[in-house]
C-alpha cells in the first residue's frame, strides 16, 4: 500500500503557542488529504479535507481559523493548530490516497 508520513509524532507545547503538523505522501501524489482528530477509545473524526492548490474544506463545527490547513504541493499537507489550548490536546491523523485511503502514524499533541 501507499506510504504516508507524519511529523512530529509527538509534540508538547505551551498554551497560546502554535503547532504545525506535516503530512507527506511518500510514494504517490495526493491532490486531496484528510485530517482527522481522534479522542481516546473513539473513532476518527474528520476535521477537514485538504485540497492541493485551493482552500481546505472544513467539517461542520471545526474552527477554520484555529486549524489552518495548507496543501502547497502534491506531496505535502500541513495542519497548524493556532493559539493552542489544553482542549486542543488530542491525536491527529492525516490520510490520503485515491481509491483507498492510507494513513500517517499520527501526532499526539499535548498542550500544557
Partner 1 sequence: AQTVTQSQPEMSVQEAETVTLSCTYDTSESDYYLFWYKQPPSRQMILVIRQEAYKQQNATENRFSVNFQKAAKSFSLKISDSQLGDAAMYFCAYKTRQGGSEKLVFGKGTKLTVNP
- Please give the residue ranges that form the binding site for partner 1 (CB under 8 A): 1, 32, 34, 38, 41-44, 46, 49, 91, 93, 95, 98-103, 105-106
Give the Cα separation of 107 and 112 in Å (integer).
16
Provide the minimum distance between the beta carbon of 42 and partner 1 in the complex, in angstroms, as a whole number: 7
Give the Cα separation of 15 and 56 in Å (integer).
25
What cell does 65 get?
A: 481559523
| Bridge partners (DSSP) listed for residue 19 | 81
Q: Considering beta carbons, is residue 82 or 110 the nearer one to partner 1?
A: 110
Provide the minimum distance between the beta carbon of 16 and partner 1 in the complex, in angstroms, as a whole number: 27
Q: Considering beta carbons, is residue 36 or 111 the nearer one to partner 1?
A: 36
Provide the minimum distance between the beta carbon of 55 and partner 1 in the complex, in angstroms, as a whole number: 16
> Strand, helix or coil at 88?
helix
Provide the minimum distance between the beta carbon of 82 and partner 1 in the complex, in angstroms, as a whole number: 24
Q: Are 68 and 88 in contact (CB under 8 A)?
A: no
Amino acid at each position: 500500500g501507499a506510504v504516508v508520513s507524519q511529523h512530529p509524532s509527538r509534540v508538547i507545547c505551551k498554551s497560546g503557542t502554535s503547532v504545525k503538523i506535516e503530512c507527506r505522501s511518500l510514494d504517490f501524489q495526493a491532490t486531496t488529504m484528510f485530517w482527522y482528530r481522534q479522542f481516546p477509545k473513539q473513532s476518527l473524526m474528520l476535521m477537514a479535507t485538504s485540497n492541493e492548490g485551493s482552500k481546505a474544506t472544513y467539517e461542520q463545527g471545526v474552527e477554520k481559523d484555529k486549524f489552518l490547513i495548507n496543501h502547497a504541493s502534491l506531496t505535502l499537507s500541513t495542519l497548524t493548530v493556532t493559539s493552542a489550548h489544553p482542549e486542543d490536546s488530542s491525536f491527529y491523523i492525516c490520510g490520503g490516497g485515491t481509491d483507498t485511503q492510507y494513513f500517517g502514524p499520527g501526532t499526539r499533541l499535548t498542550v500544557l
